[in-house]
């Protein structure tokens, strides 16, 4: 007989499963306190599951403090709020509460009853997992007597593994690119939650000197489509060209689209920007922070590549701090201001004025 225990998922694997279940619209059971709770994405909840979650009258809707602020809901749980839900939730009402697309058209959505006291930790865990699933951070949460068969169970103590992803090198292959034919692409894969990330080695960087490095965040609209709303495409190309001219460099490409909120949410942010909100306000109205990226992954990749000293091409002081925290010495910052135009002037101004980007 084969022993079952090696086949059981560990904490990191359970969390990765929980994120993909929530993304599908499935419920996840969260235990670890006195009560076990079922949580489901408010965005993905189908009518049958929504009714089942709310039929006892004990369900609540968890939203982030950012979203609560826009909805003018009292925040008693620090970074989040829990709203009591009626037995039969009106889906249009729910849509209005969680999705800010119609905030301006439908400004009054209350009255809301915000819960105080009790255990907010399971709801907080659900919100964090939904962010990792790149869904709107709004969860329907209800206590359960018993967990329905087939529903994944996680424990609050599993949540510690959310930020403990370790990346492993998978493969490296030669990749001639327009900037430098002598280049290579390396792939790094997480052991639990998260996406694969890449390192482009341009030319032959001299490892005895600080390596010219760029930490780039995925931007489908800018990198691939040539969107004029941001500066990502020109930054990507300028970085690769400068590395080629310098004889070599490393471009770390982190799959953290939309500053970590995912492409669908970034497009929600863009539609809010069309209503007049700036980049930061749009993120807040959706329930996200200004920037949800984890730059520490870049340092982890460089350590695996045995690169310890770099010249970093960036205007973002948070990136400098992140490499420092990972033990990578940034000996010089190389400013990277390119691609300014009519469509991204406000975006660049907001980076400078609100996000602390350097000259």
Ligand X SMILES: Nc1nc2c(ncn2[C@@H]2O[C@H](COP(=O)(O)OP(=O)(O)OP(=O)(O)O)[C@@H](O)[C@H]2O)c(=O)[nH]1
Known binding-site positions: 214-219, 230, 232, 235, 257-259, 279, 314, 319
207-236 positions binding Zn ion, by CB under 5 A: 219, 222, 230, 232
The separation between CA 259 and the C-alpha centre of its own chain, rounded to angstroms, equals: 7
131 binds ligand X (CB under 6 A): no
Catalytic residue among 99, 285, 291, 342: 291
| Other CB atoms within 10 Å distance of the CB of residue 39 | 26
* DSSP state letter for 42: T
Which CB sits closer to Zn ion, 42 or 239?
239
67 binds ligand X (CB under 6 A): no
Given Zn ion, ligand X, none, residue 123, with its beta carbon under 5 to 8 Å by kind, binds: none
140 binds Zn ion (CB under 5 A): no
Using the rule CB under 6 A, give the single segment among 26-34, 112-120, 190-198, 313-321 that binds ligand X: 313-321
Catalytic (active site) residue 293: yes
Per-residue binder mask for ligand X (CB under 6 A), 217-236, x = binder: xxx----------x-x--x-
CA 130 to CA 6: how far, in whole Å? Answer: 28
For residue 130, give the nearest of 14, 35, 40, 256 by alpha carbon: 40
251-290 positions binding ligand X, by CB under 6 A: 256-259, 261, 266, 269, 279, 283
* DSSP state letter for 299: H
Catalytic (active site) residue 191: no
Q: Do 336 and 313 touch, CB atoms closer than 8 A?
A: yes
b/e map of 77-95 (b: 16 or more CB within 10 Å)?
beebbbbebeeebeeeebe
Which CB sits closer to ligand X, 168 or 225?
225
CA 23 to CA 35: how far, in whole Å? Answer: 24
Residue of the chain from 262, 319, 322, 330 that contacts ligand X (CB under 6 A):
319
Given ligand X, Zn ion, none, residue 180, with its beta carbon under 5 to 8 Å by kind, binds: none
Using the rule CB under 6 A, give the single segment among 46-54, 87-95, 124-132, 312-320 that binds ligand X: 312-320
Which CB sits closer to ligand X, 55 or 346?
346
CA 336 to CA 328: how far, in whole Å? Answer: 20
Q: Residues 315, 319, 324, CA angle at the centre, nearest 5°?
A: 130
262 binds Zn ion (CB under 5 A): no
CA 231 to CA 226: how far, in whole Å? Answer: 9
Please spell the DSSP secondary structure of 158-227, one letter per residue: GGGGGG---EEEEEEEE--BTTBSSEEEEEEEESSSS--EEEEEEE---TTSPEEEEEEE--IIIIIT--
Q: Which residues of this chain interact with Zn ion, rule CB under 5 A?
A: 219, 222, 230, 232
**Residues with catalytic roles:** 291, 293
Q: Which residues of this chain interact with ligand X, rule CB under 6 A?
A: 217-219, 230, 232, 235, 256-259, 261, 266, 269, 279, 283, 314-316, 319, 336, 351, 357
């Amino acid at each position: 007989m084969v022993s079952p225990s090696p086949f059981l998922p560990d904490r990191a694997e359970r969390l990765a499963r929980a994120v993909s279940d929530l993304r599908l619209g499935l419920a996840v059971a969260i235990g670890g306190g006195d009560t076990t709770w079922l949580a489901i994405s408010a965005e993905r909840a189908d009518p049958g599951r929504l009714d089942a979650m709310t039929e006892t009258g004990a369900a609540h809707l968890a939203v982030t403090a950012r979203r609560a602020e826009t909805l003018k809901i009292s925040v008693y749980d620090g970074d989040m709020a829990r709203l009591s839900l009626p037995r039969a939730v009106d889906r249009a009402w729910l849509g209005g509460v969680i999705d800010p697309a119609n905030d301006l058209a439908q400004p009054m959505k209350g009255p809301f009853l915000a819960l105080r006291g009790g255990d907010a930790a399971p709801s907080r865990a659900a919100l964090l997992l939904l962010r990792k699933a790149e869904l709107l951070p709004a969860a329907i949460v209800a206590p359960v007597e018993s967990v329905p068969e087939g529903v994944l169970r996680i424990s609050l103590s599993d949540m510690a593994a959310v930020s403990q992803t370790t990346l492993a090198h998978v493969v490296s292959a030669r990749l001639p690119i327009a900037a430098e034919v002598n280049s290579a692409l390396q792939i790094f894969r997480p052991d639990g939650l998260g996406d694969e990330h890449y390192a482009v080695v341009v030319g032959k960087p001299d490892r005895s000197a600080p390596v010219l490095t760029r930490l780039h965040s995925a931007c489908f609209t800018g990198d691939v489509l040539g969107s004029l709303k941001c500066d990502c495409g020109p930054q990507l190309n300028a970085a690769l060209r400068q590395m080629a001219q310098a004889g070599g460099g490393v471009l770390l490409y982190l799959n953290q689209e939309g500053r970590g909120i995912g492409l669908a949410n970034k497009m929600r942010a863009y539609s809010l920007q069309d209503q007049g909100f700036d980049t930061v306000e749009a993120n807040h109205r959706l329930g996200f922070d200004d920037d949800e990226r984890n730059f520490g992954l870049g340092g982890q990749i460089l350590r695996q590549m045995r690169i310890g000293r770099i010249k970093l091409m960036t205007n973002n002081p948070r990136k400098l701090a992140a490499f420092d925290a990972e033990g990578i010495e940034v000996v010089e910052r190389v400013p990277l201001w390119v691609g300014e135009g009519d469509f991204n002037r406000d975006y660049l101004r907001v980076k400078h004025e609100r996000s602390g980007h350097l000259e």
